[in-house]
């Protein structure tokens, strides 16, 4: 009888953490850091997306390109870094013809202008399977200013940017699992799933203010959990304080169980970060300057788990938190 397979995080800890360089931060952060020039560090991040898992075969190619770039820029944003450039490798089935590639490249071009970075190089190969796109992003940050996962301290306030749950509800809209809402709300939610907005300006302004940060790709509970694990602390989140968009609020008001979209589902690519209570005014100033809403949703405590309390202060339980690929 086969042994139960390890989960993704256990696999990383068991097989890959022993291979890590010091700059790899023991693979416990979202990124790696290497020395740069002029007292800067480079921030490195690689992530891949797979057709049929992270995007649909008939998604607009430009949106696929932009999402691939943005999910990596989101990690740079969480660290307070400024994008520099990226490497791209593509495993392409025959269906990805020149027309698809041209539209894909136009999507990259649009986001390169928007986020001011460029392509360093890469590689494309044929595959008989689904499209697999891998991107390694490089950013820069003043030395020692990167906001790591490991800096959270008991007493810190836990904040999130923007609104949560939109991407998971957007995916439900796209896959026909969420009906009975108006076309504008549908479009809004689907857009939030297809094209996340990396919080680069906010992240830069939080460097030196926030103590720890991550982007929310696996869900608030899971990603805050990574921060807690790396920092050796626990956290308490009040579900009622988690910020929702108007569209998400409509959905959840009618179907309260959908609050899980904002708590344990991923793909919002907002930031979760912690800061001392005394830094509240600086956090608010950073949010204002970046034009991004920031909301206090809980606090860091002694311990090692993330607990979520409902409106009456009772602990909420989730079967599983965060998207697991294995």
Give me the least distance between CB of 222 and a second copy, in Å please.
Answer: 15
Give me the least distance between CB of 22 and a second copy, in Å please.
Answer: 8
Output 44 or 167, the one with its CB closest to a second copy: 44
Give Cβ neighbours of residue 50 (< 8 Å, ≥ 6 apart): 130, 131, 132
Q: Output the 3-class SS for 86-105.
A: EEEEEEECCCCCHHHHHHHH
Give me the least distance between CB of 25 and a second copy, in Å please.
Answer: 8
Task: Measure the CA angle with vertex 132, ends 129 and 138; round to 5°.
Answer: 165
**Is residue 138 exposed (0-12), middle (13-18) or buried (19+ Cβ within 10 Å)?**
buried
DSSP letters spanning 264-294: T------EEEEE-GGGHHHHHHHHHHHT--E
Output 124 or 175, the one with its CB closest to a second copy: 124
Question: SS3 of 112, please?
Answer: helix
Give me the least distance between CB of 288 and a second copy, in Å please.
Answer: 33
Output 72 or 163, the one with its CB closest to a second copy: 72
Give me the least distance between CB of 4 and a second copy, in Å please.
Answer: 9
Output 33 or 261, the one with its CB closest to a second copy: 33
**Is residue 129 exposed (0-12), middle (13-18) or buried (19+ Cβ within 10 Å)?**
exposed
Q: Please say whether the beta carbons of 241 and 42 come within 8 A.
A: no
Give me the least distance between CB of 225 and a second copy, in Å please.
Answer: 18
Output 54 or 258, the one with its CB closest to a second copy: 54
Output 60 or 130, the one with its CB closest to a second copy: 130
Cα torsion angle, 244, 183, 172, 226, sign: negative
C-alpha to C-alpha distances, 143 to 38, 79, 207, nearest whole angstrom? 9, 12, 11
**DSSP structure class, residue 239:** G
Give me the least distance between CB of 7 and a second copy, in Å please.
Answer: 10
Radius of gyration of the chain (CA): 19
Output 37 or 317, the one with its CB closest to a second copy: 37
Output 35 or 284, the one with its CB closest to a second copy: 35
Q: What is the spatial distance between Cα 115 and Cα 19, in angstroms, rounded to a whole number?
A: 32
Give me the least distance between CB of 287 and a second copy, in Å please.
Answer: 29
């Amino acid at each position: 009888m086969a042994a139960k397979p390890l989960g993704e995080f256990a696999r990383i800890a068991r097989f890959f953490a022993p291979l890590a360089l010091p700059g790899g931060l023991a693979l416990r952060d979202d990124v790696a850091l290497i020395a740069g020039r002029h007292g800067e560090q480079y921030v490195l991040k690689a992530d891949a997306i797979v057709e049929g898992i992270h995007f649909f075969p008939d998604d607009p190619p430009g949106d696929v390109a932009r999402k691939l770039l943005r999910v990596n820029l989101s990690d740079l944003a969480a660290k307070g870094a400024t994008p520099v450039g990226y490497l791209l490798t593509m495993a392409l089935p025959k269906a990805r013809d020149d027309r698809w590639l041209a539209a894909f490249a136009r999507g990259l071009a649009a986001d390169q202008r928007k986020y001011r970075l460029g392509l360093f190089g890469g590689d494309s190969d044929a595959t008989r399977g689904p499209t697999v796109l891998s991107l390694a992003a490089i950013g820069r940050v003043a030395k020692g200013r990167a906001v790591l996962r490991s800096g959270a301290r008991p007493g810190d306030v836990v904040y999130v940017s923007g609104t949560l749950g939109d991407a998971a509800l957007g995916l439900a809209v796209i896959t026909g699992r969420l009906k009975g809402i108006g076309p504008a709300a549908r479009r809004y939610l689907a857009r939030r799933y297809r094209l996340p907005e990396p919080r680069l300006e906010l992240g830069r302004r939080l460097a030196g203010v926030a103590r720890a940060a991550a982007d929310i790709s696996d869900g608030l509970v899971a990603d805050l959990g990574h921060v807690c694990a790396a920092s050796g602390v626990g956290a308490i989140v009040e579900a009622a304080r988690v910020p929702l968009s108007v569209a998400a609020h409509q959905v959840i008001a009618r179907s309260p169980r959908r609050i899980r979209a904002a708590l344990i589902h991923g793909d919002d690519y907002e930031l979760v970060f912690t800061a001392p209570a005394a830094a509240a005014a600086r956090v608010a100033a950073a949010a204002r300057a970046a034009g991004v809403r920031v909301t206090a949703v809980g606090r860091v405590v002694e311990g090692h788990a993330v607990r979520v309390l409902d409106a009456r202060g009772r602990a909420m339980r989730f079967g599983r938190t965060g998207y697991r690929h294995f």
